[in-house]
């Protein structure tokens, strides 16, 4: 893909002659002019290209997401989101579809909303509904239910600030702290992990956390080395983000031929 040819907008590219090889006088002058042209023209242009892509992905997110042949449910399949009337009314739709289809596998791609909410210390009513719904699902699934595990969300107000902050030389570790929202996701992960234990071996958690974890900053990083964002301002994966996690699903699909074993690339985690 052409986006891979974008160079980093904050690391100088090795495209100029070394000053050590330049002689005195005009040679040094030409080297300086080359370097000045590079700094004043190419780096801003490359940064602008990256910023433009980040903006376009946000601008066209919903238009690119919806496909006329697909039917969409804007609610969590394991819990009626916010207990809204719409989500309560269509909560049985997921179970109905699975019961009618009797699929070999089900893949549940969903971002946590209400299932990340806190609960009373001694009883978790949200989890009890999740568990009951999951049991209805797996009763009509032949092999496995793949569930996308909870992960932190981006603070969307900073997504289009990635390139400007990098261009201004802000330390990436500080920007990771600003961009990553750790609120509530650990509660959702705890519930998903408990769900795995109560699933009688039919559930697999697909965990994106290792894919976005940065060892240097000891935090999650939601953009690549060029400044391209992995997420849109509606917290969907961008085209770059999809490419970043593509191998996870590719490995899972390759492993589906083994009907009784957990597919490689899917991680059953307990944290």
Q: Once rounded to an integer, what is the mean pLDDT over residues 25-32?
A: 54
Q: How far apart are CA 107 and CA 149, in angstroms?
A: 12
3-15, pLDDT tens digit by residue? 333 444 544 433 3
Alpha helices in the chain (DSSP H): 26-37, 43-59, 61-65, 85-89, 91-101, 125-138, 162-167, 172-179, 185-197, 209-212, 239-255
Picking from 204, 235, 205, 203, the residue whose alpha carbon sits closest to that of residue 222 is: 235
Angstrom CA distances, 40 to 46, 130, 173, stand at 11, 56, 26
Whether 139 shows a pLDDT value over 80: the answer reads yes
Whether 229 has a pLDDT exceeding 60, the answer reads yes
Nearest to 180 by CA among 164, 202, 160, 158: 158
Q: Which domains are delineated in the chain? A: 23-255 (3.40.50)
Query: What rounded mean pLDDT belongs to the chain?
Result: 82
The SS3 assignment for 241 reads helix
Beta strands in the chain (DSSP E): 105-108, 144-148, 153-154, 180-181, 203-206, 213-214, 219-220
Give the model's pLDDT for residue 74. 81
> How long is the chain?
271
What are the φ/ψ torsions at residue 17 (nearest 5 degrees)?
Answer: -70, 145
Mean pLDDT of 211-218: 96
Confidence of residue 263 (pLDDT cuts 50, 70, 90): very low
pLDDT tens-digit map of 77-117: 999 999 999 999 999 999 999 999 999 999 998 889 999 99
* Pairwise pLDDT comparison (264 vs 162), residue with the higher score: 162
State whether the Cα torsion 7-8-14-16 is positive or negative.
positive
pLDDT over threshold 90, residue 19: no
């Amino acid at each position: 893909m052409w986006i891979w040819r974008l160079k980093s907008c904050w690391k100088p590219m090795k495209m100029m002659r070394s000053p050590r090889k330049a002689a005195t006088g005009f040679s040094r002058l030409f080297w300086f002019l080359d370097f000045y042209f590079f700094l004043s023209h190419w780096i801003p242009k490359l940064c602008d290209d990256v910023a433009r892509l980040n903006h376009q992905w946000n601008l066209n997110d919903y238009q690119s997401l919806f496909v006329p042949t697909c039917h969409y449910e804007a609610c969590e399949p394991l819990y009626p989101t916010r207990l809204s009337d719409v989500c309560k009314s269509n909560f049985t739709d997921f179970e109905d579809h699975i019961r009618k289809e009797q699929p070999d596998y089900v893949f549940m791609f969903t971002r946590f909303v209400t299932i990340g909410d806190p609960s009373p210390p001694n009883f978790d009513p949200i989890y009890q509904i999740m568990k009951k719904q999951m049991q209805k699902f797996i009763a009509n699934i032949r092999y496995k239910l793949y569930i996308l595990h909870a992960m932190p969300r981006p603070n969307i107000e900073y997504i289009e600030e990635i390139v400007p902050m990098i261009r201004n030389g802000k330390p990436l570790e500080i920007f990771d702290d600003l961009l990553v929202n750790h609120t509530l996701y650990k509660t959702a992960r705890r519930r998903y992990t408990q769900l795995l234990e109560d699933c009688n071996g039919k559930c697999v958690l697909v965990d994106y956390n290792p894919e976005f974890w940065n060892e240097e900053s000891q935090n999650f990083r939601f953009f690549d080395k060029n400044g391209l964002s992995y997420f849109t301002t509606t917290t969907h994966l961008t085209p770059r983000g999809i490419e970043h996690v593509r191998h996870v699903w590719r490995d899972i699909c390759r492993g589906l031929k083994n009907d009784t074993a957990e597919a490689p690339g899917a991680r059953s985690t307990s944290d």
